[in-house]
């Protein structure tokens, strides 16, 4: 009897063990590979991805299908103004399947989600399968896929956004030498100076309801008279903050002084009386999102009168020569043949050390035409020698427009101020061919009919060249128009 009970108990125990083993085997066969695969694909296809292109990967992005645009709200990876409930909905539906439906058609919110006129299903089984959008690999397209296709990547995180608001106020400028305040920005240089040194003072305040948790930058800029932001050049930048709600700070609390020079290499540069604008801007757009982004700068007019005339070491050329064969296959583009301090065709083989004039290519056009001794009626002189071997070159000349820039790193047609004079074959070099300056730097046709060279020496001067109502500055051996 005892043995029978013990035997019965052993049989039941053995059966239980067998059953557990069968269950374990079934799990191992059916679920472990799926778990492993899910772990791999989930990490690769979603969690480690970045659906909305705004920086945080999906696993830590509380709004994986909503881009911050670079201005992040209080929730990680969410744009400004998104509530916790909206973030939960976005995270829930980011992996839902895109459909051909434009409406959920009465389906419950637990199985269908509408966003921007498109319906998304929580699964693609049964009847839903017909509406789900297939990808090339036969899998179904998700909302995350759709967002990734149109997302504009945020290459530089702009920072946090909150209920704070930076303003600039009480801008004052002082003559650096006399420490006298200027109330209207007018400075009489009394034919003694050609630039003005200023000290700048102002206040920055956080008028928002929240403390600003990180530093921000403040810049002093000189812009054109019309206060066009694209024209501004930064003279000085420094860091301020963090700043509590309602707190006001003067930069002179942080640095000994803000000292800038106006009238050298900026929109107040140039001869005679010049006007420009001083701008102080809290550079919050790259660091902080604010409740009001329109009150971050203040302006002050600057008028420099009676500037001292100055001799600037501009490098000028009286003429340039272009040379090519008009039988070259178009489009033809190449470097100009030479520049000359004097006239092409006026050299006649003379000593270049005693004469500024230059021989033409192969000397073929030395005796041809008026370009030997005179400038064109308007613009800057361009001499053309068209290769006509074995005969002598065909010759021509014309005037380039005032303000025309011949670049040194690209090619362009010459903008003409006059008709082409000379041989017909040489005219093709002006009308059909594109040219660039020599590698030393680009050339600018000025109002005195001279070509001004932008080379490394001129760039070091840092001066502005006014031409035809425009203003140019030499930068990286290229003439750059100041806007």
Q: Which residues contact 409 (CB under 8 A, 6 or more apart)?
A: 436, 442, 478
Interatomic CA distance for residues 152 and 70, integer angstroms: 10
CATH of 166-305, one of 2.60.40.10, 3.20.20.140, 3.40.50.2000, 1.10.132.10: 2.60.40.10
483 residues of the chain, pLDDT tens digit each: 333 433 444 545 545 555 555 544 454 444 444 333 333 334 455 888 899 988 888 988 999 999 887 777 778 888 878 899 999 999 999 999 999 888 887 788 788 998 877 899 998 887 778 889 988 888 899 999 999 988 877 755 455 566 778 899 999 999 999 999 999 999 999 999 999 999 999 999 988 888 877 788 899 999 999 999 888 999 998 888 788 889 999 877 777 778 999 998 899 998 889 999 999 998 654 445 666 667 889 999 999 999 998 888 899 999 999 999 877 666 688 999 999 998 887 665 455 555 688 888 888 888 776 566 788 899 999 999 998 878 888 999 999 999 999 999 999 999 999 999 998 889 999 988 999 999 999 999 999 999 999 999 999 888 899 898 888 999 999 999 987
**234 vs 261: CA distance, rounded Å:** 11
469, two tokens: 């109502």
Domain residue spans of the chain? 48-150, 166-305, 315-481
User: Given the DSSP bridges, would you call strands 181-182 and 112-115 parallel, antiparallel or unpaired?
Assistant: unpaired
Whole-angstrom distance, CA of residue 267 vs CA of residue 466: 10
Query: What is the Cα–Cα distance from 115 to 144, expressed in whole angstroms?
Result: 12
Sign of CA dihedral 191, 192, 197, 198: negative
Beta bridge partner(s), residue 237: 219
Is the previous residue joined to 140 through a cis bond, with omega within 30 degrees of 0?
no
Partnered with residue 383 across adjacent β-strands are 321, 397
User: Per the confidence metrics, is the pTM higher than 0.75?
Assistant: no
Taking phi over 0 as left and psi of -120 to 50 as alpha, with beta for the rest, 362 belongs to left
Q: What is the DSSP letter of 142?
A: B
- Under 8 Å CB-to-CB from 285, ≥6 apart: which residues? 158, 293, 296
């Amino acid at each position: 009897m005892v043995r029978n009970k013990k035997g019965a108990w052993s049989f039941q125990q053995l059966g239980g063990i067998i059953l557990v083993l069968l269950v374990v085997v079934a799990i191992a066969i059916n679920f472990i590979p799926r778990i492993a695969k899910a772990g791999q694909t989930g990490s690769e296809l979603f969690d480690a991805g970045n659906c909305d292109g705004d920086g945080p990967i999906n696993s830590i992005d509380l709004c994986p299908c909503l881009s911050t645009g670079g201005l992040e709200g209080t929730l990680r990876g969410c744009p400004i103004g998104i509530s916790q409930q909206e973030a939960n909905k976005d995270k829930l539906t980011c992996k839902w399947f895109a459909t051909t439906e434009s409406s959920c058609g009465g389906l419950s919110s637990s199985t269908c989600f509408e966003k921007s006129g498109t319906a998304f299903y929580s699964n693609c089984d049964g009847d839903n399968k017909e509406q789900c959008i297939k990808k090339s690999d036969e899998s179904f397209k998700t909302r995350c896929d759709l967002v990734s296709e149109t997302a504009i990547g945020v290459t530089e995180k702009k920072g946090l956004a909150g209920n704070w608001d930076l303003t600039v106020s009480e801008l004052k400028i002082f003559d650096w030498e006399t420490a006298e305040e200027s109330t209207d920005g007018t400075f009489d240089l009394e034919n003694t100076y050609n630039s003005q040194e200023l000290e700048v003072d102002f206040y920055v305040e956080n008028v928002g309801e929240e403390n600003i948790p990180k530093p921000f930058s403040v810049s002093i800029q000189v812009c054109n008279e019309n206060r066009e932001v694209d024209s501004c050049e930064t003279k000085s930048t420094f860091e301020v903050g963090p700043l509590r709600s309602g707190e006001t700070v003067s930069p002179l609390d942080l640095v000994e002084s803000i000292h800038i020079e106006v009238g050298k290499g900026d929109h107040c540069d140039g001869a005679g009386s010049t006007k420009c604008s001083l701008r102080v801007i809290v550079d919050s757009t790259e660091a902080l999102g604010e409740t009001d982004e329109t009150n971050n700068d203040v302006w002050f007019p600057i008028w420099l009168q009676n500037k001292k005339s100055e001799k600037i070491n501009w490098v000028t050329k009286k003429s340039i020569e272009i040379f090519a064969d008009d039988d070259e296959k178009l489009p033809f583009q190449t470097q100009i043949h030479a520049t000359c301090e004097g006239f092409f065709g006026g050299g006649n083989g003379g000593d270049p050390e005693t004469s500024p004039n230059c021989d033409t290519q192969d000397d073929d056009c030395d005796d041809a035409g008026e370009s030997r001794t005179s400038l064109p009626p308007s613009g800057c002189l361009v001499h053309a020698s068209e290769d006509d071997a074995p005969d002598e070159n065909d010759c021509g000349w014309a005037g380039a427009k005032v303000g025309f820039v011949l670049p040194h790193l690209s090619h362009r047609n010459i903008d003409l101020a006059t008709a082409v004079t000379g041989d017909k074959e040489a005219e093709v070099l002006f009308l059909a061919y594109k040219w660039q300056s020599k590698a030393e730097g680009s050339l600018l046709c000025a109002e005195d009919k001279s070509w001004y060279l932008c080379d490394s020496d001129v760039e070091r001067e840092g001066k502005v060249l006014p031409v035809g109502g425009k203003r140019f500055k030499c930068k990286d051996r290229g003439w750059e128009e100041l806007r």
